C-alpha cells in the first residue's frame, strides 16, 4: 500500500519494452522526477567509470587503514569492525531494493526479481552474515572509510538498480535462456562460492589458532593470497555478463580497481611477515599476478 502510493507520487510512465542490449530510456519525458533520475544515472555512471583508473593508481600507493594495515592514529571516529562492515554495506543492500520497489512497471518483474536475488545474495552475505560470523577484532575501523564506501555503494546501487528496473524493465523472460545470462549467472555463482569459502578459511585460522595472523592454506589459497577478493571480482564480472550492461561493467572494473591493489599489499605483507610463505603463490590471479 505504502509503496503503491509512493510509486504514484513518482508519476512515472509505464516503461516500454525496447530491444535488449540498447538500454534506451523511454522516448517521451514522464516528468521532472524521471528526468532528474535519468540525469543522475548518467552523472553517476560516468563518475564511476571515470574513477576506476584514479582509484586503481591511488590505492597502489595508499593502503586503506583497516585490517592488516589498521592504525589507531588514522581517523577521528572509529568503529568496531563488525559494526563497521554492517553499516558500510547496508546502503548497497537497500539502494537497489528501494529502486526495485519503486519501479511502477510490473511486467518485467519476474526477470528483474532474478537479478535482485543475485545482488542481494551477495550483499545479504556481506552486510549481515559476514559481520555476524567474523571474530571480534581488537582493530577498529576509521569512520571515513565507512562513509567513502557509502558513496560508492549508493552510487553503484543506484546505477545498477536504475538501469535494471527503470531503463530496462522490459527484459524479456527469454533472456534467462540467453547464453550471456547463463554464462554470467554461472560465473557469478562460481565467484560467490570461492568468495564465501575463502572468507570461511580465514575465519577457521583464528578459530583453531587464536587471535593473530596465519598463513592461509587449502583451496585457492594454494595459488593466490586473496581468493576472497578474486572470488568477488569473478562474481561482478559474471554480473556484467548476465545483465549485459554498462553499470555492470563499471562495477566489475571498479571492484578490480579496489581489490587488486589491496591484494598486492596483502601479498607483500605476507611475504614480509612469514619467511616460509609459499613462493609460488601469486597475489590475485593464479600463475599470473
Ligand atoms: N567490493 C569491494 O570493492 C570490496 C572492498 C573491500 C573488501 N571487500 C570484501 O570484503 C571482505 C573482507 O575484506 P577485507 O579486506 O577485510 O579481507 P581480508 O583482509 O582478507 O580479511 C577478512 C577477515 O579475515 C581476517 N584475516 C585476514 N587475513 C588473515 C590471516 N592471515 N589470518 C587470520 N585471519 C585473517 C581479517 O581480520 P582483521 O580484520 O583483523 O585483519 C578479517 O576478519 C572480502 O571478502 C572482500 O572481498 C570487497
Chain segment 217-233, per-residue pLDDT in tens: 999 999 999 999 999 99
Q: How far is the CA of 204 from the centre of ligand 1 (A)?
A: 13
Q: How far is the CA of 67 from the centre of ligand 1 (A)?
A: 7
| Cell numbers found for residue 216 | 592461509
Q: Residues for the chain: how many in total?
A: 289
Nearest to 175 by CA among 113, 119, 242, 239: 242
Domain coordinates of the chain in residue numbers? Answer: 33-273
What is the DSSP pairing of strand 140-142 with strand 78-80? antiparallel
Percent of the chain clearing pLDDT 90 (strictly above): 67
Q: Residues with beta carbon inside 6 Å of ligand 1?
A: 67-68, 81, 134, 137, 139, 195, 199, 202, 205-206, 213-214, 216, 228-229, 232, 255, 258-259, 262
- What is the per-residue pLDDT for 73? 65
Q: Band the pLDDT of 74: cuts 50, 70, 90.
A: low
- Read off the pTM: 0.88
Burial pattern 205-229, b for ≥16 Cβ within 10 A else e, equals beeeeeeeeeebeeebbebbbbbbb
- What is the per-residue pLDDT for 173? 86
Q: Band the pLDDT of 142: cuts 50, 70, 90.
A: confident
What is the chain's mean pLDDT, rounded? 87
Neighbouring C-alpha atoms within 13 Å toward the C-beta of 100:
20
Neighbouring C-alpha atoms within 13 Å toward the C-beta of 67:
12
Q: Band the pLDDT of 205: cuts 50, 70, 90.
A: very high
Q: How far is the CA of 270 from the centre of ligand 1 (A)?
A: 13
Q: Which residue's CA is the nearest one to ligand 1's atom 9?
A: 229
Burial pattern 68-89, b for ≥16 Cβ within 10 A else e, equals eebeeebbeebbebbebbbbbb
DSSP state letters, 80-107 = EHHHHHHHHHHHHHHHHHHHHHH----T
CA distance 169 to 14: 9
Percent of the chain clearing pLDDT 70 (strictly above): 86
Q: How far is the CA of 246 from the centre of ligand 1 (A)?
A: 28
- What is the per-residue pLDDT for 103? 83
Beta-bridged to residue 142, according to DSSP, are 78
DSSP letter for 282, please.
B
Among 71, 228, 252, 269, the mutation site with the greatest number of ligand 1 atoms within 8 A of its Cβ is 228
Amino acid at each position: 500500500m505504502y509503496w503503491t502510493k509512493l510509486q504514484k507520487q513518482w508519476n512515472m510512465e509505464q516503461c516500454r519494452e525496447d530491444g535488449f542490449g540498447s538500454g534506451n530510456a523511454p522516448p517521451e519525458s514522464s516528468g521532472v522526477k524521471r528526468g532528474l533520475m535519468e540525469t543522475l544515472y548518467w552523472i553517476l555512471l560516468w563518475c564511476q567509470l571515470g574513477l576506476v583508473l584514479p582509484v586503481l593508481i591511488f590505492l597502489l600507493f595508499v593502503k586503506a587503514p583497516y585490517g592488516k594495515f589498521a592504525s589507531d592514529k588514522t581517523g577521528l571516529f572509529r568503529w568496531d569492525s563488525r559494526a563497521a562492515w554492517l553499516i558500510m554495506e547496508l546502503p548497497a543492500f537497500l539502494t537497489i531494493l528501494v529502486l526495485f520497489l519503486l519501479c511502477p512497471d510490473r511486467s518485467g518483474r519476474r526477470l528483474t526479481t532474478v537479478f535482485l536475488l543475485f545482488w542481494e545474495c551477495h550483499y545479504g552475505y556481506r552486510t549481515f552474515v559476514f559481520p555476524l560470523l567474523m571474530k571480534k577484532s581488537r582493530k577498529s575501523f576509521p569512520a571515513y572509510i565507512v562513509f567513502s564506501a557509502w558513496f560508492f555503494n549508493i552510487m553503484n546501487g543506484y546505477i545498477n538498480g536504475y538501469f535494471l528496473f527503470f531503463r530496462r524493465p522490459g527484459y524479456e523472460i527469454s533472456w534467462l535462456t540467453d547464453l550471456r545470462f547463463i554464462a554470467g549467472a554461472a560465473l557469478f555463482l562460481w565467484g560467490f562460492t570461492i568468495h564465501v569459502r575463502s572468507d570461511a578459511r580465514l575465519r577457521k585460522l583464528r578459530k583453531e589458532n587464536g587471535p593473530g595472523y596465519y598463513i592461509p592454506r587449502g583451496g585457492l589459497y594454494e595459488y593466490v593470497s586473496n581468493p576472497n577478493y578474486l572470488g568477488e571480482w569473478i562474481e561482478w564480472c559474471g554480473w556484467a555478463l548476465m545483465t549485459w550492461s554498462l553499470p555492470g561493467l563499471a562495477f566489475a572494473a571498479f571492484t578490480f580497481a579496489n581489490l587488486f591493489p589491496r591484494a598486492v599489499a596483502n601479498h607483500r605483507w605476507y611475504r614480509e611477515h612469514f619467511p616460509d610463505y609459499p613462493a609460488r603463490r601469486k597475489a590475485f590471479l593464479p600463475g599470473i599476478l
